[in-house]
Amino acid sequence: MSDPMVPPTPPVRLDALLAREDLGLRRVAGPDDPGTVVHWAHASEMADPYPYLLGGELLLSAGVHIPEGAGAGYFDAYVSRIVAAGGAALGFGVAPVHEAVPGALAEACEMHGLPLLEVPPRTTFSGVARAVWQLMAQARLAELRRVTEAQQSLATAASRPDPVRPVLHQLAQRIGGWAALYTPDTTELTTAGTPPSPETRQSLANLAKVVRPPAPTAGSRAAGAARAGAAAPGERRQVTPAPGEHRQAAPTPTSASDTVNGTHLAAYALGTGYVLGVAAPHRTPGDHTIASVAAVLLSLLTGQQQSGTTAARSSALVRLLLGAPPKDVAPLLGGERWQVVHARPDGHTAPDPLSTSALGTALGSTLVDPTGEVVRVLVPADRPVEPLPGWTLGVSTAATPPDWPDADTQAARALARARATRAPLLRHGDRPALADLVPPHDADAHARALLAPIAAAPALTDTLRTWLSLHGSWDRTAVALSVHRNTVRQRVARCAALLEADLDDPDVRMELWFALRRT
């Protein structure tokens, strides 16, 4: 596991500080290791800085603590304490106390392997500290950009047909290594990237067994809870076996890591019995976050495969295409009665694929159909539909498959009224209407005859229906139909002329409304 005292920010390479011309730092002793990193800068004039260091510091000192006539023994003790505290490097300011770096200090740093930097008089310690934080911020920004780009590419891959392989391919590409998906019995199901050596490959398979859930047995849940050290539900355990050794240190950990022959290995339990394995030649900041995102996506994808949801819906689509009646297909979709929801995003923008998918998730359904500016969703009747920020919703009554077309019309009308009244959600009423007292055949015949003069002009019919439903409001009808209010006036006047009817008469309006509800 990583040291909890190390800050959760990318370290700064010491070479990057030395390359800053504005600082003018110069290495005068110690190892020239390009892998040396600094986590922070700290100035101290204590003769023994050990109690005040956390590790990973660039310790800055002007040598105020050095006594007159200090010999090699003093510098040896001073440097050894810095190294014991985990200091990364020592920066020595040559002004105003000392004109040059003491030779005994340079010898002690060389002996103890501590990089020693000369800080010129023109460079302040606060300037060095600021440069460390600037470089750290740049590294953090680069890491966030890399993780964000990886998340976007993984999400795109997850939306493709047969998405498991594209997700693995993107993961392997982003970490510059190899990714494998293991079945519950830790057999390689599919892989992507550059394969590691057979030994490393076997080590990763062994590591996958560490996070693989144990086979369920009678009473195993109770026994596991009583066992000392058992993981609590949802608890994340990090297991890091010694190189070449793979042992289960805690019951069903969710992740484990190891290093074999310089290759960094990690395994993630997906919660569905599957395991994601990752092998990378270099461990860079953000790799764990990227792999965790891939693990979440693969958990969802393998969960769908296990539940059979995708297969059932594919079967339903095939049966519909081959002529099966909707009532026979509905059970495959997960319910007998459904609500139709018409949704439109607030504002004037058309719904994009990402927001459409999020809408379906919020409504608890994957049966989503974007049609122009409106998204239609089939939602099981037992799932409540609540208002959603950024959307206007119209909801039908619960309907069986034969009545889905009527429910679709109900949802469309409810959405139009919701937009006109600026309500976030409106439902179609399901109480018996007066028109239900008239035999359907007679009502339909009367409606066709009454509306025949405008039947060939859908724009007129829709405008009249919306205008009547909104009690003759020109402005709200214009909003509902996304047209100018003058257009509404012209269409309604045209309807009155063609129907030879006085639309100011409430009896005429009532009769037309009943007729329009039958069409």
Rounded distance between C-alpha atoms, residue 202 and residue 269, angstroms: 17
pLDDT number for residue 216: 44
What mean pLDDT do residues 156-176 have? 85
**Rounded CA separation 167/293 (Å):** 10
**pLDDT score of 434:** 56
Tally of CB atoms within 10 A around 476:
22
State the number of CA atoms in the 13 A half-sphere of 329 facing the CB: 18
Position 246 scores a pLDDT of: 46
Asked if the 160-214+242-307 domain carries CATH number 1.20.58.340, the reply is: no
Cβ partners under 8 Å of residue 473, min gap 6? 420, 467
**What residue segments make up the domains of the chain, in order of their start?**
12-135, 160-214+242-307, 332-427, 434-517
Give the pLDDT of residue 79.
96
The pLDDT assigned to 271 comes to 72
Spatial neighbors of 394 by CB under 8 A, at least 6 apart, are 341, 342, 343, 410, 411, 412, 413, 414, 415, 416, 417, 418, 425, 426, 427, 428
> What is residue 376's three-state secondary structure?
strand
Checking if the pLDDT of 489 tops 90, the result is yes
Q: Which helix (H) or strand (E) holds 116?
A: strand 116-119
State the pLDDT at residue 491. 92
| Per-residue pLDDT at 82 | 95
In this prediction, residue 322 carries a pLDDT of: 72
Place of tokens 């519950």: 184
Model confidence pLDDT, tens digit, residues 388-401? 888 899 999 988 88
Residue 15 is predicted with a pLDDT of 93
Comparing C-alpha atoms, which of 261, 149, 144 is closest to residue 204? 261
What is the residue-wise DSSP string for 181-226?
EE-TT--EEEEEE----HHHHHHHHHHHHHHSPPPP-TTHHHHHHH
Closest CA to 331 of 353, 343, 315, 351: 315
- Cα gap 134→266, rounded to integer Å: 31
Rounded Cα gap, residues 192 and 179, in angstroms: 5
366 falls in which pLDDT band (50, 70, 90)?
confident
Phi, psi angle pair for 259, to nearest 5°: -130, 125
- Residues 104-136 have pLDDT tens digits of 999 999 999 999 999 999 999 999 999 999 998
Backbone angles phi, psi at 276, to 5 degrees: -100, 125
Contact 332, 309 (CB under 8 A): no
Q: How buried is residue 404: exposed, middle or buried, by Cβ count under 10 Å (0-12/13-18/19+)?
A: middle
Long-range contact set of residues 325-332: C-beta below 8 Å, sequence gap at least 24: 325/401, 325/402, 326/401, 326/402, 326/404, 327/400, 327/401, 327/402, 329/401, 330/400, 330/401
More confident residue, 217 or 102: 102
What architecture does CATH give domain 434-517?
A: Orthogonal Bundle (1.10)
As a CATH number, domain 12-135 is 3.40.1390.20
Report percent pLDDT > 70 for the chain: 82
Check residue 150 and give its pLDDT: 87
In this structure, of 98-112, 243-257, 476-490, the range with the lowest mean pLDDT score is: 243-257
pLDDT at 163: 82
Residue identified by tokens 């297909």 is: 329
What average pLDDT does the chain have? 81
Query: Is residue 336 classed as helix, strand or coil in its secondary structure?
Result: coil
Q: Which DSSP state fits 19?
A: T
**Are 12-135 and 160-214+242-307 in the same CATH fold?**
no
When comparing pLDDT for 431 and 469, which is higher?
469
pTM of the model: 0.45
For the segment(s) 332-427, the CATH number from 3.40.720, 2.60.40, 1.10.3470, 3.30.70 is 3.30.70
| DSSP state letters, 245-256 | -----SSS-SEE
Please report the pLDDT score of residue 370 as a whole number: 82
Of residues 239 and 172, more confidence is placed in 172
**What is the reported pLDDT for 317?**
65
pLDDT in tens, 20-60: 999 999 999 999 988 899 998 999 999 999 998 988 999 99
- Tens digits of per-residue pLDDT, 400-416? 887 888 899 889 888 88
Q: Would you state the pLDDT for residue 432?
A: 47
pLDDT band at 16 (very low <50, low <70, confident <90, very high): very high
The per-residue pLDDT for range 78-102, each reduced to its tens digit, is: 999 999 999 999 999 998 899 899 9
